[in-house]
């Protein structure tokens, strides 16, 4: 729940249910959590999987310290970071990712993976993610592939050809 709240702080989304505490619900569209931030974090290729529990514990410790500094009463029924308001979550994440913070690298890494889950569906096949309605790819207007699952762009993205096709390019698009 803590890492969901962190991901939602980075790319906010709509609550899944009215009583959802991890997602603050400051946006009407799906955010990082629905886009699969936790699935991406759990992917061994990220290299952060083993550190997620300690990061979650540290985040809750920082939330408790933040609440004490700001004289906030936290709901004890949820983890401390989840108990913070969205605005306080944002303020705490800004502190943790600020230049000079000794743990900055870890928090920036979590923020990057939250963005990656939304912006690129890095943990999924792009074609499958689009077919299943991945919220980030759809929000950005990511083009769907052709019927065979390949992307072809008959028009140049800048409206003009930026470079000539290499003469040794094969029919599949690979160089010889």
pLDDT tens digits for 29-62?
Answer: 999 999 999 999 999 999 899 999 999 999 999 9
| pLDDT tens digits, 85-138 | 999 999 999 999 999 999 999 999 999 999 999 999 999 988 889 989 999 999
Taking 90 as the threshold, does the pLDDT of residue 171 lie above it? no
- Residue 84 predicted with pLDDT over 80: yes
pLDDT of residue 172: 79
Contact 37, 117 (CB under 8 A): yes
Residues contacting 117, CB < 8 A, separation 6+: 7, 11, 32, 35, 36, 37, 39, 40, 123, 136
């Amino acid at each position: 729940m803590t890492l969901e709240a962190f991901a939602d702080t980075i790319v906010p989304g709509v609550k899944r249910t009215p009583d959802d505490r991890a997602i603050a619900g400051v946006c009407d569209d799906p955010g990082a959590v629905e886009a699969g931030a936790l699935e991406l974090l759990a992917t061994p290729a990220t290299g952060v999987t083993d550190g997620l529990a300690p990061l979650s514990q540290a985040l809750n410790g920082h939330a408790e310290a933040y609440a004490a500094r700001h004289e906030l009463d936290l709901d004890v029924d949820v983890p401390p970071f989840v108990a913070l308001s969205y605005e306080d979550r944002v303020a705490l994440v800004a502190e943790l990712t600020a230049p000079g913070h000794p743990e900055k690298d870890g928090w920036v890494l979590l923020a990057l993976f939250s963005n990656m889950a939304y912006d690129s569906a890095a943990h999924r096949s792009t074609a499958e993610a689009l077919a299943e309605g991945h919220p980030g790819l759809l929000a950005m207007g990511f083009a769907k592939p052709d019927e065979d699952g390949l992307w072809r762009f008959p028009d140049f993205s800048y409206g003009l050809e930026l470079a000539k096709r290499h003469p040794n390019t094969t029919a599949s698009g690979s160089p010889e």
